[in-house]
Chains A and B, each alone.
Chain A
Amino acid sequence: MNKIDWAAFPDARGHFGPYGGRFVSETLMGALDELQQVYEQYIGDPDFLAELDHDLKQFVGRPNPLYHAERLSQELGGAQIYLKREDLNHTGAHKVNNTIGQALLAKKLGKTRIIAETGAGQHGVATATVAARLGLECVIYMGEEDTRRQSQNVYRMRLLGAEVVGVKSGTRTLKDALNEAMRDWVTNVDDTFYIIGTVAGPHPYPAMVRDFQSVIGREAREQHLAMTGKLPDTLVACVGGGSNAIGLFHPFLGDESVEMIGVEAGGDGVETGRHSAPLCAGQPGVLHGNRTYLMEDENGQIIGTHSVSAGLDYPGVGPEHAWLKDIGRVNYVSVTDDQALAGFHRMTRTEGIIPALETSHAIAHVLDLAPQMRPDQSIIINLSGRGDKDLNTVAEREGITL
């Protein structure tokens, strides 16, 4: 591979190779130009960055640990496994790294109202949290199917003062919540800031969310070097939209020795068609403001997805992942619902850490991968979120009534 200047992507119009861009209705183009301008201005502004760092430290609790999972490493008998503990952030997942940053930009733009979409509810909770802290009005769109699966998070958002709107259109999951949030934004564009929760959507969102999430990889890189004196061999993260994965991967892209693996939701198995793995089994198309890999039928209609984890239940993926797949820098695989559940239990019982079902996909892949590696090698798993929100889902699958 030729040396790539990773910082040069996306280009000025938001393209990662053929992916990304800005495919939205005309009404939003002005707001996106304005957002891009303000984001480019502040992302290099020392005062803004100091404010962001202060909030990440004092409110989120960063830096969080890079934890050596010694017992799991020993049991698997291969590579040393390290966990980047995003589950220890305030609100329990990596999502808050991004909402803190975008909410600060919303204030700079003088917006008084925040909207967001959410799948599992983690991004909704992280958004409602920063809105409460800044005293901003907050509306969260969530597919009706997901409000049922994640009722605890719905209640958390309401406690935080957010209005939660159950979306009844389409498949009633994350993609429909995104459609509805876009409709709200196009109607209330003057006073409203849309905090997108993943590295997808129209430019500048994929780049901006990546930049806010890259704190994960910057810390992990420094921590791993300090603990072991070398870089890790492999990074593993789950990929729905792909924000936790890009946050871990991006600061390592220039480290050619570091291998990266994104794990998609294989649902009942990619061969069954009931899954959420567009990079493994989809093809390029245009949805939600960007060109990327999608799950669609022969007429270009977006098809229903399936995953045990609401946060991965999405037919698209961030455009930077699409590009990293095509150029071969990152390898994308999938694991099934059952494998993810096994990963969930293994981590819980072996390390005393209850991971989110999304995260459990990354863990499941490492259960296979680690034994194939040597004990002097290492893997970092992005432990992107904690599993409290998933206890009902896990219990239900196992026939237990709580």
Chain B
Amino acid sequence: MSRIEQRFAELREQNRAALIPYVTAGDPEPGATVPLMHALVEAGADLIELGVPFSDPMADGPVIQKACERALRFGTGLRDVLAMVAEFRKQDTTTPVVLMGYLNPVERMGYETFAETAKAAGLDGLLTVDLPPEESEDVVGLLEQSGIDPIFLIAPTTSETRIDHVARAARGFVYYVSLKGVTGSQSLDVSALAERLEGLRCHTGLPLGVGFGIRDAETAAQVARVADAVVVGSAIVRLAEEHDGDGEAFARAAAAVVREMRTAMDAARSPGAAATV
């Protein structure tokens, strides 16, 4: 059983939704990332999504664009990010880590080299936002050989036939993009989301994670009632900007947000909580 499967199985048993914070590797500086990852786990994160900085983050809103720019000032590249994962694994062998980013850095490194290095580092999954299943056959094969789950997105605009296609290629969990837009967008419609997730469960038995537009503990709790995982990115990454280069202060603030979300999500799933959204 992979680390991701293991983690979701445990959570299902406890009737809890996974909390998945996203942080951009190397933001605000390379040394800050591994301590930050440990702090997030300590605060209640179940899985970490680590962003690979890219010069042209087309699917991201301004918060994560700026995080990429901060990380790239130090030249943080994919090899550095994998080294951070390896460093994290020295202390934490149970929390799954998924890389999220764009295809070109992986393509430049070479798929085989990436798969080998990532396996050795203890990486669990890879989500490249600009790689739809149609273009992914080569890379998916190599990832699977290395025990790395290819994570794919489903969007509000994904047709029924494509959902099956995506679900067939996906491993680990399916990432449902909760709205049309870039990361960090506003206004998530939770009741529409609930209906959509119900529909998706007919197509896949994989856990369903929801991301884009989860701004606070209240929204996280609402989403936790209907989804298997809640992904929070911009709401955490914006704290790095507020703490202006101070990695430790950023880690404390990020951990506080995660802790608050954790509490709200667990309360929402507890037997006494209202069952409706």
Contact = CB atoms under 8 A, between A and B. Distances in A.
Interface of A: 13, 21-31, 33, 169-170, 175-176, 179, 182-183, 186-190, 284-289, 291, 294, 296, 298-303
Given A27-B180, A186-B182, A189-B180, 19 more contacts: A13-B134, A23-B103, A23-B130, A23-B135, A29-B132, A170-B56, A175-B56, A179-B58, A183-B58, A183-B59, A183-B182, A187-B182, A287-B56, A287-B104, A289-B130, A291-B107, A299-B78, A299-B108, A301-B77
Interface in B91-118: 102-109
Contacts of B47: none
B158 A30 contact: yes
Interface in B42-74: 53-59, 61-62, 65, 69, 72
B59 A301 contact: no
Interface SS majority for chain A: mixed
B153 interface: yes
B185 interface: yes
A29 B56 contact: no
B162 interface: yes
A175 B134 CA distance: 25
B106 A31 contact: no
A21 B107 CA distance: 15
A297 B57 CA distance: 16
Contact of A29 (B78, B108, B157, B181): B157
A298 B80 CA distance: 12
Contacts of B109: 300
9 contacts: A28-B157, A29-B132, A186-B59, A187-B181, A189-B157, A286-B103, A287-B56, A299-B79, A301-B55
Nearest to A187: B181
In the A-B complex, the 10 residue pairs with the smallest Cβ-Cβ separation, listed nearest first, are A300-B108, A299-B77, A300-B105, A27-B155, A26-B153, A187-B181, A30-B157, A301-B55, A26-B155, A300-B104
B200 to A, nearest CB: 13
A301 B107 contact: no
Contacts, number: 125
B32 interface: no
A25 B59 contact: yes
Most chain A C-beta atoms within 10 Å of own C-beta, residue among B53, B77, B130, B181: B130
B141 interface: no
Contacts of B107: 284-286, 291, 300
A187 B130 contact: no
A269 B131 CA distance: 34
Contacts of B276: none
Contact of A30 (B56, B130, B159): B159
A113 to B, nearest CB: 14
Contacts of B72: 301
